[in-house]
Structure 1
Amino acid sequence: MKHIICFGDSITRGENDRERGGWADRLKSFYMEQFLYEKDNEVCVFNMGIGGETTVGLSNRFRQELDARLLEEETNLVTLGYGANDIALVGDKHQVSIEEYTANLAQCIDYAHAKNARVYLLSIIPVITDLNTGKPRMLKDIILYNKLLQRLAKEKNVTYVDLHSLFEADTASYFTFDGVHPNAEGHSLIYEHLKSILV
């Protein structure tokens, strides 16, 4: 048996995927169907995404939420998909500084490792700046924070998952009206990629 515990913001939660509720719920449906037909190797997916959440919110809830869903003596995988809200600008400052962002994620990774869970750090996906009418997010900041995530993954010996490059070709067709949230096709891209990696 295996648990996949998906922490993140509204992109993990599945906002704006009107067809199947986002990549995490697609993953959940896939494993449920697989178990129903094969009656073996049960995999439970927990969608822990919260709209608008930053790594500050994650660090406040991570231990309790993780402990409640961990399997004893079994496989536990944890995905961390954060950054779209951390990098959002309020005035001339990010909602969460790059230093605090790093510290929050590092703290959660260390705790997950202490519980023998495997961690997957998901990169920040692009935004369509012409459509992003809410809190602005700069493409240069996304690139900067993704480089940080790569370094952090190497330092902490966790898997870095490059979702950003999935959207580099014909990016606009994979997003909804706000330029931040993937549409059904965008979530399908993420789902297919993660399904091949989360083993």
Structure 2
Amino acid sequence: MAIVYTALGDSLTVGVGAGFFQPGFVPRYKRKMEEDLKQNVTLAVFAKSGLTTAEILSMLDRPFIRNYIEKADAITITGCGNDLIQSLEAYKREKDQHVFLEASSHCQKNYSAMLKKIRELKEKNERYFIRLLNLYNPFPEIELAEKWISGFNGHLQQLQATPYVKIVDIHSVFKGHESEYLSFDKVHPNSAGYEAIAEKLRASGYKPLKIEEC
């Protein structure tokens, strides 16, 4: 019986920046999962460039997507990058640091609501896991961006819940490697960046699908 993998999110889940005919992290992670678990993996992707966490949350009200979540053994979620970009633009206009705090709080609430909806759908199934990807910083030259992202990631860590939910730290993967892992737009990962994300996901293991860690 195949493992069902459902990926939700924004442009990172889409794979923007990978390059022509190059996969993003989602197909790469699917292949690694198949290699590690020695099982076929069926994939469903619900993602669009530019989505905010509020828009990703709203997707969980669509019956078609809810059906895939209900059947999923593995779920990945990316988000808040667009919330960050919007808050940076607002900061440039208003010079008010509170826009970052508001965006962070907004993202936290939306992620919590996503997990609540998923838990409700998975009430009768304990054989699944969720991986939330934290934020890397594509703007290392902006001091406030690093401060905001580090704060957000720290709060996101509080949503980790063994054994189902793990926060995958891609911030540390990209920090200091921006020139190596970011695409020409300096915002999205390139092919090497997506491979690094997939490897970080792989390293998070597959419990409770698999007793031993990979």
Aligned to 1:7: 8
2:174 counterpart (167, 171, 188): 167
**More moved, 49-58 vs 95-104:** 95-104
Paired with 1:63 and 1:43, the residues of 2 have a C-alpha distance of: 25
Q: Letter of the aligned partner of 2:195 in structure 1?
A: S
Bigger fraction of residues in helix:
2
- List, as ranges, runs of 4+ consecutive aligned residues in structure 1 with deviation greater than 4 Å: 29-32, 154-157
**More moved, 187-196 vs 7-16:** 187-196
Paired with 1:198 and 1:47, the residues of 2 have a C-alpha distance of: 21
Seen in structure 2, the aligned counterparts of structure 1 residues 158 and 146 have a Cα distance that, compared at 3 Å, is same
Q: TM-score, normalised by structure 1?
A: 0.80
Aligned to 1:22: 24
Specify the SS of the correspondent of 2:7.
Answer: strand
Specify the SS of the correspondent of 1:97.
Answer: helix
Aligned identity (percent) is 22
1:53-68 to 2 correspondence within 5 Å? 53-64=51-62, 65-68=64-67
What residue ranges of structure 1 are gaps of 5+ in the alignment?
A: none
Seen in structure 2, the aligned counterparts of structure 1 residues 107 and 5 have a Cα distance that, compared at 3 Å, is same
**More moved, 5-14 vs 92-101:** 92-101
The aligned length equals 188
Aligned to 1:158: 165
What residue ranges of structure 2 are gaps of 5+ in the alignment?
A: 92-98, 123-127, 207-214
Paired with 1:162 and 1:127, the residues of 2 have a C-alpha distance of: 15
| Contact 2:129–2:163 under 8 Å retained in 1 | no
Tell me the C-alpha RMSD between the 2 structures. Answer: 3.0
Aligned to 1:85: 82
Q: Letter of the aligned partner of 1:2 in structure 2?
A: I
Paired with 2:170 and 2:70, the residues of 1 have a C-alpha distance of: 27
| Contact 1:112–1:118 under 8 Å retained in 2 | no
| Contact 1:121–1:161 under 8 Å retained in 2 | yes
